[in-house]
Amino acid sequence: MKGVCVVGLSLLFLALVDLGSAEADIMQLVIDHAPYLRFDLKQGEGNLCFPHNAQEFYEARKGGDWSRKCNRDYDSVTRGSIPTYWHANTCGYHLHIAYWNFYGYNDDCDCCSGERDAWWEFIVVKIRDWTLNPRMHEVMFGQKKGWYTRIPGHYETFNTTHPVAYVGKSNHGTYHDDGGTGTCCYYEDFRNPGSADKHMVTWDNLIHLREEEGEDWMTDPNTDWWHGLQSPIFRDDWDVCGLMGCTGSSLQVCGTCGCHKSDIGEDPF
């Protein structure tokens, strides 16, 4: 009887140790594969905002401050004072890590449409076979109300392990490439880093997006603070194991056409 109990306890202990090291392994993968964001050379001018601190925005709104919040301070981005929010799920042999950036304000994407307060954008990274032979594979780029997925070789990397995402200058979608023609059509938000080379090393400030023990804003279901949006926790894509490779048309049209640039079509991510 006593023997069984001791065996039971040591198994429990081993399981706990294992859990702890799995968490540490996940955290290391989250850091190693966090995206390297590249901004348009005009980012930070006028109403072209850099990522924003979501908790700060939330507190301002709750405190009755409804003024426009646009982060024009490039220093805040390079000093690591603006967080990128992440959460990860193990999906069979693979690990899916979602990285979220918050923006206080999106400017018009043409002369006169597309602006709004509060906006979220995401990038999802798939780490295949994460316990035995981890390697970054598919990367999903989110933009406007859609997304698409690229396979290795079809997106750039920074320092080998970090996917590069180009951020649209007005609406802040993330893309695997630079360019754009400066209209509101799906792939056309400008993103030309030029010699300014403004960028954000997201792994300098990663905050775990979670349902318990996270920051206050994360679990507040009230969409008023976000001007009608939900915090990522309440969105349909919170379960990152169930994502599909793209959304929208596979023809390049002006509206949502994420599938046009998806390497895996609409297959499961």
Ligand X SMILES: *[C@@H]1O[C@H](CO)[C@@H](O)[C@H](O)[C@H]1NC(C)=O
Q: Where does residue 186 fall: left (phi above 0), alpha (psi -120 to 50 degrees), or beta otherwise?
A: alpha
Q: How far is the CB of 26 from ligand X (least distance, A)?
A: 20
The residue whose two tokens read 């996270």 is 214
Nearer to ligand X, 32 or 115 (CB): 32
Q: Which residues contact 10 (CB under 8 A, 6 or more apart)?
A: none
Which of 67, 159, 181, 195 is the binder for ligand X (CB under 6 A)? 159
CA distance 4 to 6: 6
Q: How far is the CB of 150 from ligand X (least distance, A)?
A: 22
Nearer to ligand X, 78 or 247 (CB): 78
- Could you write out the DSSP letters of every residue in 221-234? --SGGGTTPPPGGG
Nearer to ligand X, 201 or 229 (CB): 201
Site for ligand X, residues 56 to 95, rule: CB under 6 A: none
**Backbone phi, then psi, for 114, in 5-degree steps?**
105, -10
Q: How far is the CB of 157 from ligand X (least distance, A)?
A: 11
Residue 202: closest CA among 162, 237, 239: 162
Site for ligand X, residues 127 to 146, rule: CB under 6 A: none
Q: How far is the CB of 199 from ligand X (least distance, A)?
A: 9
Nearer to ligand X, 28 or 222 (CB): 28
Map residue 121 onto helix, strand or coil. Answer: strand
Nearer to ligand X, 67 or 160 (CB): 160
251 DSSP assignment? S
Say how many residues touch ligand X, by CB under 6 A: 2
Does residue 206 belong to the site contacting ligand X (CB under 6 A)?
A: no
Does residue 201 belong to the site contacting ligand X (CB under 6 A)?
A: yes
Give how far Cα 87 sits from Cα of 47, 95, 106, 116, Å. 29, 10, 24, 26
Query: Taking CB positions, which residue lies at the least distance from ligand X?
Result: 159
Q: How far is the CB of 29 from ligand X (least distance, A)?
A: 16
Site for ligand X, residues 10 to 49, rule: CB under 6 A: none
Q: H or E segment at 9?
A: helix 2-32
Q: How far is the CB of 159 from ligand X (least distance, A)?
A: 4
Nearer to ligand X, 185 or 201 (CB): 201
Q: Where does residue 227 fall: left (phi above 0), alpha (psi -120 to 50 degrees), or beta otherwise?
A: left
Residues in contact with ligand X by CB under 6 A are 159, 201
